[in-house]
Structure 1
Amino acid sequence: MNMILTSSSFLFPLVTVPYVSRVLGPSKTGIISWASTFTDYFILVAMLGFNMYGTRECAKVRDDREKLSQTLQELLTILLISTSIVYAVYLTFVFLMPRTQEQLPLMFITGTTIWFTAAGAEWFYRAIEQYGYITFRNIMFKILSVILMFLFVRQTQDYLTYAAINVLGTVGSNVINICRLRKYVDFSVRRKISIRHHFKSMFKFSVSSISSGMYGKIDMLLLGFFVNNYSLGLYQLVFKIRNLCTSVGGSVTAVMLPRLSYYEAKAGREQTTRLVAKNFNFLLILGLGMISAMVICAHPIITLLGGAEYLPGIHALQIGAPLVLLGSIGSMQSQYMVASNQEKAYTYTTVFGLVFSVILECILIPCWGINGAALGLVVTEFCVYVLRSYIIRDFMTVVHKHTDYHKIVFAWITASVLTIGVLWLVNSLNAFIQIAIAGAVYLFVDLLLLYIFKEKFFISVIKKNE
């Protein structure tokens, strides 16, 4: 279900991005993306790491309705307080910073996502593994937003309308979440609420979640202070393409935390190792394939989604391609560290990533612009991956024994080389046709070699379907 949800997050932008990019142009799409990124930083603080902490705590007691109700009511109380404080700080920054003063209406529109995100309590639904509901609800609102976009976004001046529709499609459905909670829990004013015992563990999650979220988008945020709106517009398309690809792998790791927490508490290390190894194989196959797509097909992808006006962003897309794999594997590592109660180590790695990325981006962006922004984030993600791998090296050593990475890498290299040759032969065709042909060649060669080499994950999928 989470794969379907993520696929929808991938397919809908394929419909909207080409239209919006051409109607609004690089400058308007750039400032909207920057405003959204700016607001996302406040959301990270307001959420206090609940996407992980809330998921883990609710998953632990999901079989006991009373304990689940108690836990949820306590967490929502904390969230209400934090969101109110953060929104007040957000308004202060908006009125004081010159960059935000220029776009007050836009900042007010994107600022509503702070409340909508907090109201969603999506971490609760992930904890009880209600992925069917999450998927259906999100898809319905995405369809609504697409319809509204084509109806009301017709010219460059409609950028504020687009920003509002984007908020509706992204987090508007969260209002339904809060109304639906009574189906699973019982709220009571008589229940004694004790929130202090959450603070110690939640603090670690807050620091780590805020740090990881910040350095994951630090390239887009800092660009807004170093480059003009046109360059922002070029990079926002690269940013969207990269995030769309990363979200596919993220759909796998996102559902791991509840199950890993459950295994760690009930089933033991063997089940945990099998789950992580299975996902590592899948992420390696998927991530390497998407890296090839972003590097080999960068020109037709940008031409199709943005048009010729966005082609100066090609190199930034190619440089940032490794983030698709590094981000997904890094997320898997963090899910394991959280489930196994290694929050402290996880926090250290994310704080390191944030500090290192800020320093690196401030050096590279003035030198190389959007290409420097992409390179800085790749280097940061790689260093964080190495650091986490060292911290959980004993566990990763066991996991690697269950992976066929040498087979996967050989198949990837062979498929990529053949795809480059085929794409060179058809580079005069329509951009969509080029992508389709390149994708078909890559998939055929890669999957054929995985089958011939008897790669464990691929063979297990085939046998299961049979």
Structure 2
Amino acid sequence: MQVAKNYLYTAAYQLLNIIAPLITMPYLARVLGRNGVGVASWTNSFVTYFLLIASLGIITYGSREIAYVKDNKQARQQKFWEIQIIHTIAGIFSLALYFLFLKYGVQLNGNIEDNQFYLILQTWVIISGILDISWYFMGMEDFKKTVLRNAFVKIAMTVLIFVLVKTPKDIGNYILLLGLSQVFGNLSMWFYLFKKISLPNWQQLDLKEHVKPIFMMFLPTIATQVYLQLNKTMLPFFTNSTDSAGFYDNADRIIKVSLALVTSVGTVMLPRMSAQFAKGQFDKMKQNITQSMDFVSALSVPMAFGMAAIAPTAMIWFLGEQFKVVGQVIVLLSPIIIFIGWSTVIGTQYLVPTKRLNEFTLSVTIGALANVLLNFWLIYVAGVNGAAVATTISEFLVIGYQLYVTRKDMNVWHHFSEMWRYIIAGLGMYILVTMISQHLEINIKSTSIELVLGVFVYVLILLILRAPILKKIPLLNKIAK
């Protein structure tokens, strides 16, 4: 019951994450233009690397460690302060590095010098990372507070975008708004925290205990962020324009909208799986993995096929003719919805809770190295489309390695025993939507029709094929019978 409730909270917030960009993205595309969107995306890609140093992968590590001792108040309190002190030290170090980058980075590239003011405004993103203690509440499986906080921040930010961003000159307002909203949102969580714990016994703090495992968790976080951000960072260097970074960022954001509901499973299940591992409940863990993989596949396959079908035309009316290329990029990125969905289950839900960090680290490192190497070639050859292909190949390699290293723990092929049903249903939906789109005008009404028909066809084919996932949905289960 608790897992279901946490998933509903998280899914509700992810639904808000879907709605908010759908409201603001077309507005920002038209107000800031392709150059403004590109500048905001490109400068943010730089600060993300320093945010990574400030965060140290503590979101995942911290929530896992709190989950281990959630029933022991004193141990939980000590662990929180030990981890947060390391977090703060890393954040201060990261800020120092960022200021050095701002001072000497202008000598590296003209684009850095031209956009130094916007890079300075991005400093607030690092500060927000230092204040982020959401990992504590995740470890306690108290997703309600985190979700409500994030929802309030998201709604407030959406409203303020329309109030403060009105011309192409308001790029600074937009960047500052994104940073400060995260700062105030993370700061608000501290008020909840002080009701749960008090100051620690300073003499008994043991920071050394966490240094090695945090570092081990930091490595996969670095690797992950490299191939999430490197594309946007590299594109202007190869294409001589920040516009390409904006194209890729918009496509990536829309893909992440689809991923939101899928990855919620891993976020919710991590503390539960960590607790089961601590208690030696391995059979329950394997059962949860099987169920999660089936659920994620049932969601991710139609999202990937559906996104590929509607994006080429939908992006024209959604973002404007000048962002037409975004639709092509989304088609090339759409498979990662499936790949990341699977890796969220195997990596975040199994390898991390069972402390197999070396294998988890290596999986994302393989993806990062592949992405870097492929970027140099594919971005040069195909620009932003090449960056999308590089990302898709990298994500495939990540999940491929994770499945390989867990093959002796679980029957890997059992994970995909029902996959053929979802693939057939997804292909049927894709073919129908693609055919219909050729005969409809390019507008929101046409896209809505395509979406409704696509969902209907996907569910209908699953009913015909009697997919087991339908048993978990009472109404559809009755129809299937």
Q: Does 1:73 align with 2:81?
A: yes
Mapping of 1:76-155 within 5 angstroms?
76-98=84-106, 99-155=111-167
CA shift, 1:399, in A, is 7.2
Compare 17-26 and 438-447 and name the one that shifted more.
438-447
Aligned to 1:416: 430
Does the 8 Å contact 1:55/1:123 carry over to 2?
Answer: yes
SS at match of 1:297: helix
CA shift, 1:398, in A, is 5.6
Aligned to 1:231: 244
Compare 293-302 and 50-59 and name the one that shifted more.
293-302
CA shift, 1:292, in A, is 1.7
Aligned to 1:255: 268
> 1:338 and 1:280 mapped to 2: Cα distance?
16
Mapping of 1:299-314 within 5 angstroms?
299-314=312-327
> 1:102 and 1:260 mapped to 2: Cα distance?
48
Q: 1:400 to 1:216 in 2, by over 3 A?
A: farther
- TM-score of the superposition, structure 2-length normalised? 0.92
Does the 8 Å contact 2:91/2:129 carry over to 1?
Answer: no
CA shift, 1:448, in A, is 2.0
Q: Does 1:64 align with 2:72?
A: yes
Aligned to 1:344: 358
CA shift, 1:465, in A, is 9.9
> 2:245 and 2:472 mapped to 1: Cα distance?
44
> 1:378 and 1:401 mapped to 2: Cα distance?
21
> 2:355 and 2:147 mapped to 1: Cα distance?
29
CA shift, 1:319, in A, is 0.9
CA shift, 1:325, in A, is 1.4
Which amino acid letter does the alignment assign opposite residue 275 of structure 1? N
Aligned to 1:219: 231
Aligned to 1:407: 421
CA shift, 1:180, in A, is 2.1
Aligned to 1:14: 22
Aligned to 1:40: 48
Q: Does 1:5 align with 2:16?
A: no
Which amino acid letter does the alignment assign opposite residue 8 of structure 1? L
> 2:351 and 2:101 mapped to 1: Cα distance?
34
Compare 135-144 and 416-425 and name the one that shifted more.
416-425
> 1:281 and 1:22 mapped to 2: Cα distance?
40
Compare 227-236 and 382-391 and name the one that shifted more.
227-236
Gaps of 5+ in 1: none
> 1:121 and 1:225 mapped to 2: Cα distance?
36
Does the 8 Å contact 1:47/1:83 carry over to 2?
Answer: yes
Aligned to 1:376: 390
* Residue of 239, 255, 270 corresponding to 1:242: 255
Gaps of 5+ in 2: 1-8
Q: Deviations over 1:368-391 (max 9, x none)?
A: 100100001111111121111111
Identity among equivalent pairs (%): 23
Does the 8 Å contact 2:306/2:429 carry over to 1?
Answer: no
Say how many residue pairs are matched. Answer: 464
Mapping of 1:165-180 within 5 angstroms?
165-180=177-192
Does the 8 Å contact 1:21/1:306 carry over to 2?
Answer: yes
> 1:402 and 1:347 mapped to 2: Cα distance?
24
Compare 154-163 and 307-316 and name the one that shifted more.
307-316
> 1:431 and 1:118 mapped to 2: Cα distance?
43
CA shift, 1:402, in A, is 7.8
Does the 8 Å contact 1:27/1:232 carry over to 2?
Answer: no
Mapping of 1:435-446 within 5 angstroms?
435-446=447-458
Compare 20-29 and 398-407 and name the one that shifted more.
398-407
Q: 1:248 to 1:177 in 2, by over 3 A?
A: same
Compare 55-64 and 175-184 and name the one that shifted more.
175-184
Aligned to 2:58: 50
> 1:239 and 1:113 mapped to 2: Cα distance?
19
SS at match of 2:409: helix
CA shift, 1:145, in A, is 1.3
Does the 8 Å contact 2:165/2:171 carry over to 1?
Answer: yes
